[in-house]
Amino acid sequence: MGSSMKVGQAWTGAHHAWLARQYLESPATRMAFDAEHETVLAAADRRDRLDQAITKMAAESQFTEVVHRLGCLRGISTLTGFGLAVEIGDWHRFTGNTIGAFVGLVPCEHSSGTSRVRRPITKTGNTHAWRLLVEAAWHRPGGAGPWP
């Protein structure tokens, strides 16, 4: 790894330049490599354009205030906040006790008589909102686990 690249940032401009400098003996291998590298660059450009468009929409929508508030939470970016705001819609219809069930973040429970067994979260409810929250937890500084 070159000194200009940081750990965890493999797809930087320096990395793309390094990839382009690699010597490949076979012309067919070089053509295949170049075609796939161009695909990666095109996908990254498309992703960046979509991120910019979504950021603009989030700043000019009925959800702008909610997106700003959600952005104050660790791991919640504009894209995640906008996705949650759109999926949940009217936040006033929920309480602290009911929103967890809506996004599937409540424990599974099996009860019979006096016995009560709790299991991991149900993962039922709004799967897109659930996925957004789980990804936010994984992408926050420090990764998953207890909050610092």
pTM here is 0.67
Same domain, 142 and 69: yes
Left (φ > 0), alpha (ψ -120 to 50) or beta: where does 113 sit? left
Burial of 81 (0-12, 13-18, 19+ CB in 10 A): buried
Indicate whether 25 belongs to any domain: yes
Pair 44, 108 in one domain: no
The DSSP secondary-structure symbol of 95 reads -
User: Number of folded domains in the chain?
Assistant: 2
Range of the domain at 25: 11-60
Say if 3 falls within a structural domain.
no
What pLDDT digit, counting tens, does each position of 51-60 carry?
Answer: 999 999 999 9
Span 83-137, pLDDT tens digits? 999 999 999 999 888 888 888 887 777 778 888 777 777 777 888 998 898 888 8
Q: Which residues of 109-119 are buried (b: 16+ CB within 10 A; e: fewer)?
A: eeeeeeeeeee
53 and 69 in a single domain? The answer is: no
Residue 132 lies in a domain: yes
Residues 26 and 84 in one domain: no
52 and 77: one domain?
no
Same domain for 133 and 80, yes or no, is yes
Are 87 and 129 a contacting pair, CB within 8 Å? yes
Angle between helices 13-21 and 27-59 (to 10 degrees): 170
Pair 64, 58: CB distance under 8 Å: yes
